[in-house]
C-alpha cells in the first residue's frame, strides 16, 4: 500500500484518519481485530511508534479499543457526525433539537459554530476531514463555496441553509432568500397594502443575503408601495402607518420597545414582521407575524440523510405564521 503523507498535519493524525476512513468504508468491520502494529507499519510505510500513537488517537475518539489477547479491534463504524452551523440563534436550536431527537444513541454529534469566520470555518473543516462519516455544514457565505468542502466525499456531506452557489452533486436542504421571500410577501399583500410604507431592517454587518433587499424593493415597486431599507436602527423611530420587517430577533425586540415609548400598539398602529420564526414570537407582544422556513422540518430531513444516506436536493418554502402584529 502506497501512502503519501502531506505536511499540513502530523503523520500520526493523518494515519489515524486513514485508518478511520478504512473503517467507515467497511475495510475493517465492527468487532473484528485490526491488523497488527507491525503489519500496519509495513502497509502504510511508517514507524511502529507512529502506528501505536495513531491507535491511541483512535481509542480516544471511541472508534477502536483493545483487550489483552485480542489486540486492537473496531468498536463501531464511525457514528460520528460533524454539525457545523454559522452562529447560535433560537431557530438553530429548533433545527438542532429536531435533528438529534431522531438519531439513536449510537450517533455522536459534534456541534460547532464558525461565526461566519472564513478562516475558522476552513480550519474546522480541515481538522475534521477523515474524523466523521457524515458532515452537516452551514457555509460561511451564501455565494462562496469553500474549497475545503470539495475535500469531503459528496455522499457524506449535507449543505444547509445557504446555497446561492454551484452545489454540483452535493446534497442540500436550503432556503431561498429571493424569490421565496417575494412569494411570502405576496401572501400578505392584502394586509401590507393597508399601510403607507414598508421598511426592511437589514444591518450592514448582517450576513443575511442581500438578495432579500433586492426582492423587497421589487415587491414594493410592483405593488406601488413606498419603502425603505434601513441599515442602522439606533436612530430609527417607530411611526404609525408603517410596517417593519426585521431580520434579527434583537431588532424585533427593539422595535417593540420603541413603539411602547411612542405609545403605539403593535398590530394596530403599525405592523411588524419577523424573519425566521422562533417560539418566542408566539408570545412577544400578543404574537409576532413571521416568515420562515420550517426549521423543525429541516432538522428532520437532515436526520433522514444521516440515517439513510439518501441524496437530497431541496429548497424549503418560506411560510407565513400570521399573528397579531400585522
Q: Which domain-ending residue is among 49, 74, 99?
A: 74
Does residue 150 lie within any of the structural domains? Answer: no
Structural domain including 185 reads 179-292
Check: CB of residue 171 under 8 Å from CB of residue 157: yes
| Pairwise CA distance, residues 296 & 172, whole Å | 16
Query: For 311, how many CA atoms within 13 A lie in the half-sphere containing its CB?
Result: 9
Count of Cβ atoms closer than 10 Å to residue 183 Cβ: 17
Q: Which domain-ending residue is among 74, 97, 126?
A: 74
pLDDT per position as a tens digit, 199-214: 999 988 888 888 999 9
DSSP code, position 52: H
The percent of residues in the chain predicted with pLDDT above 70, rounded, is 95
Does residue 110 lie within any of the structural domains? Answer: no
Q: What angle do CA 231, 237, 241 make, to 5 degrees?
A: 105
Q: Report the side by side order of strands in the sheet with 134-138.
A: 108-113, 80-85, 134-138, 157-161, 171-175, 313-316
Domain count, the chain: 2
Does residue 233 lie within any of the structural domains? Answer: yes
Does residue 121 lie within any of the structural domains? Answer: no
CATH number at residue 270: 3.40.50.2300
CATH number at residue 58: 1.10.10.10
| Pairwise CA distance, residues 303 & 94, whole Å | 13
What element of type H or E holds 61? helix 48-61
Q: Which domain-ending residue is among 74, 92, 121?
A: 74
pLDDT per position as a tens digit, 251-287: 999 999 999 999 999 999 999 999 999 999 999 889 9
Does residue 214 lie within any of the structural domains? Answer: yes
Does residue 221 lie within any of the structural domains? Answer: yes
Check: CB of residue 321 under 8 Å from CB of residue 281: yes
- For 109, the grid coordinates are 454529534
pTM here is 0.76
Taking only the tens of pLDDT, the chain with its 326 residues reads 545 555 546 888 888 888 887 877 778 877 778 898 999 998 888 999 999 999 998 888 778 888 777 788 887 555 789 999 999 999 999 999 999 999 987 788 999 999 999 999 999 998 887 678 789 999 888 777 888 888 888 888 999 987 676 777 889 999 999 999 999 999 999 999 999 999 999 988 888 888 999 999 999 999 999 999 999 878 789 999 999 999 999 999 999 999 999 999 999 999 999 999 999 999 988 999 999 999 999 999 999 999 998 999 999 999 999 999 99
Does residue 171 lie within any of the structural domains? Answer: no
Does residue 263 lie within any of the structural domains? Answer: yes
Amino acid at each position: 500500500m502506497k501512502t503519501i503523507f502531506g505536511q499540513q498535519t502530523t503523520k500520526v493524525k493523518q494515519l489515524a484518519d486513514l485508518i478511520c476512513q478504512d473503517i467507515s468504508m467497511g475495510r475493517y468491520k465492527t468487532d473484528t481485530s485490526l491488523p497488527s502494529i507491525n503489519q500496519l507499519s509495513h502497509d502504510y510505510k511508517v514507524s511502529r511508534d507512529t502506528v501505536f500513537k495513531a491507535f491511541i488517537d483512535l481509542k480516544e475518539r471511541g472508534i477502536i479499543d483493545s483487550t489483552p489477547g485480542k489486540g486492537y479491534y473496531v468498536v463501531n463504524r464511525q457514528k460520528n457526525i460533524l454539525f457545523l452551523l454559522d452562529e447560535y440563534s433560537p431557530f438553530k436550536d429548533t433545527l438542532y433539537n429536531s435533528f438529534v431527537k431522531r438519531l439513536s444513541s449510537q450517533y455522536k454529534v459534534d456541534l460547532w459554530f464558525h461565526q461566519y469566520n472564513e478562516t475558522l470555518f476552513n480550519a474546522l473543516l480541515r481538522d475534521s476531514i477523515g474524523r466523521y462519516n457524515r458532515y452537516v455544514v452551514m457555509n460561511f457565505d451564501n455565494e462562496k463555496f469553500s474549497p475545503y468542502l470539495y475535500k469531503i466525499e459528496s455522499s457524506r456531506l449535507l449543505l444547509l441553509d445557504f446555497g446561492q452557489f454551484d452545489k454540483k452533486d452535493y446534497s442540500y436542504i436550503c432556503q431561498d432568500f429571493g424569490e421565496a421571500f417575494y412569494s411570502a410577501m405576496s401572501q400578505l399583500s392584502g394586509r401590507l397594502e393597508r399601510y403607507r410604507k414598508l421598511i426592511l431592517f437589514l444591518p450592514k454587518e448582517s450576513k443575511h443575503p442581500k438578495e432579500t433587499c433586492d426582492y423587497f424593493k421589487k415587491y414594493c415597486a410592483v405593488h406601488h408601495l413606498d419603502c425603505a431599507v434601513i441599515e442602522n436602527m439606533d436612530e430609527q423611530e417607530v411611526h404609525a402607518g408603517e410596517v417593519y420587517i426585521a431580520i434579527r430577533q434583537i431588532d424585533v425586540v427593539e422595535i417593540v420597545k420603541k413603539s411602547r415609548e411612542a405609545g403605539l400598539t403593535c398590530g394596530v398602529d403599525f405592523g411588524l414582521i419577523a424573519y425566521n420564526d422562533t417560539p418566542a414570537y408566539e408570545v412577544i407582544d400578543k404574537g409576532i407575524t413571521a416568515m420562515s422556513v420550517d426549521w423543525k422540518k429541516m432538522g428532520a430531513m437532515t436526520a433522514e440523510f444521516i440515517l439513510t444516506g439518501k441524496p437530497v436536493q431541496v429548497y424549503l418554502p418560506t411560510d407565513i405564521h400570521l399573528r397579531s402584529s400585522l
